[in-house]
């Protein structure tokens, strides 16, 4: 099978390389292919294609950075997926596009399912929602896979907390934003399963269970055997301390409803996956 993976140097791209093998796909990142440039995407496909499956892991994921530079966020997170979807449609390829829980406003407790109405409250969320719609419209063979709170090989919240714990006895972490910590390794395995189906459309795919950022920090310290305490704060407190930060949804926990109804939900409880990651 001829496969393309964009954003190959990110956490999910690296997890897919571990899953598929270094020779299992064409691996590209921004220095190889700028997906926001339609001509470059078309030229890449003409030279290296046709493909059967394309995994789009490329994105502008700096939430605060997206707030400061929406044109760049829209180019990467909306125009990029559209360009890939159009190129995929030209060769009947399946596109697996990664999206986010931040497409939801987070104003209602509980888990969001795929049919819930999105209404993002940040520039990052708006750019990602636009990318979902543009990709689905450009190629009927598109899987949009929303995930959340990803950690893997590279910079992520868990590693940031452990790094802070090396320098401080206490860290301040928001405790009123709830979501699903998700292992990039587990997500990569599910993406391969999703790519093999014809159940095109929107999927949710996170590890099972909900916690706050403060909970995640505490459990990370516990599992890593680190002595550091967590000072819990509210989102409004954090905003006063960091007025430049983007708003985040309070309740963005996802339910893997489509997985449950189709190929089966293979995602583990989040604590189990995190223990493996830190083991």
Q: So which residues are the catalytic ones?
A: 124
Tokens of 210: 């909900």
3-class DSSP assignment, residue 147 = strand
Tokens of 237: 């407190």
User: Which residues touch 145 (CB under 8 Å, ≥6 apart)?
Assistant: 96, 97, 98, 99, 187, 190, 191, 194, 203, 204, 205
Q: How far is CA 136 from the centre of its chain?
A: 17
106: left (phi over 0), alpha (psi -120 to 50) or beta: left
User: Which residues touch 69 (CB under 8 Å, ≥6 apart)?
Assistant: none
């Amino acid at each position: 099978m001829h496969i393309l993976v964009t954003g190959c140097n990110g956490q999910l791209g690296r997890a897919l390389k571990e899953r598929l093998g270094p020779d299992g796909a064409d691996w590209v990142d921004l220095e190889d292919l700028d997906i926001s440039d339609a001509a470059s995407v078309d030229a890449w496909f003409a030279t290296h294609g046709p493909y059967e499956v394309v995994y789009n892991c490329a994105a502008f994921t700096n939430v605060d950075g997206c707030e400061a530079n929406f044109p760049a966020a829209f180019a990467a997170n909306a125009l990029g997926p559209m360009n890939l979807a159009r190129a995929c449609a030209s060769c009947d390829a399946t596109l697996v596009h990664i999206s986010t829980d931040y497409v939801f406003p987070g104003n209602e407790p509980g888990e969001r399912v795929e049919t819930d109405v999105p209404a993002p409250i940040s520039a990052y969320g708006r750019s990602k929602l636009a990318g979902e719609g543009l990709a689905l419209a450009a190629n009927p063979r598109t899987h949009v896979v929303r995930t959340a709170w990803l950690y893997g090989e590279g910079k992520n919240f868990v590693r940031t907390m452990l790094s802070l714990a090396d320098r401080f006895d206490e860290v301040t972490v928001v405790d009123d934003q709830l979501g699903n910590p998700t292992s990039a390794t587990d997500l990569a395995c599910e993406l391969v399963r999703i790519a093999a189906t014809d159940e095109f459309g929107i999927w949710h795919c996170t590890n099972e269970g909900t916690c706050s950022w403060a909970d995640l920090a505490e459990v990370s310290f516990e599992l890593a055997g680190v002595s550091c305490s967590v000072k819990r704060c509210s989102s409004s407190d954090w905003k006063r301390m960091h007025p430049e930060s983007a708003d985040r949804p309070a309740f963005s926990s996802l339910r893997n409803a489509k997985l449950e109804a189709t190929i089966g939900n293979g995602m583990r409880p989040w604590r189990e996956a995190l223990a493996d990651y830190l083991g």
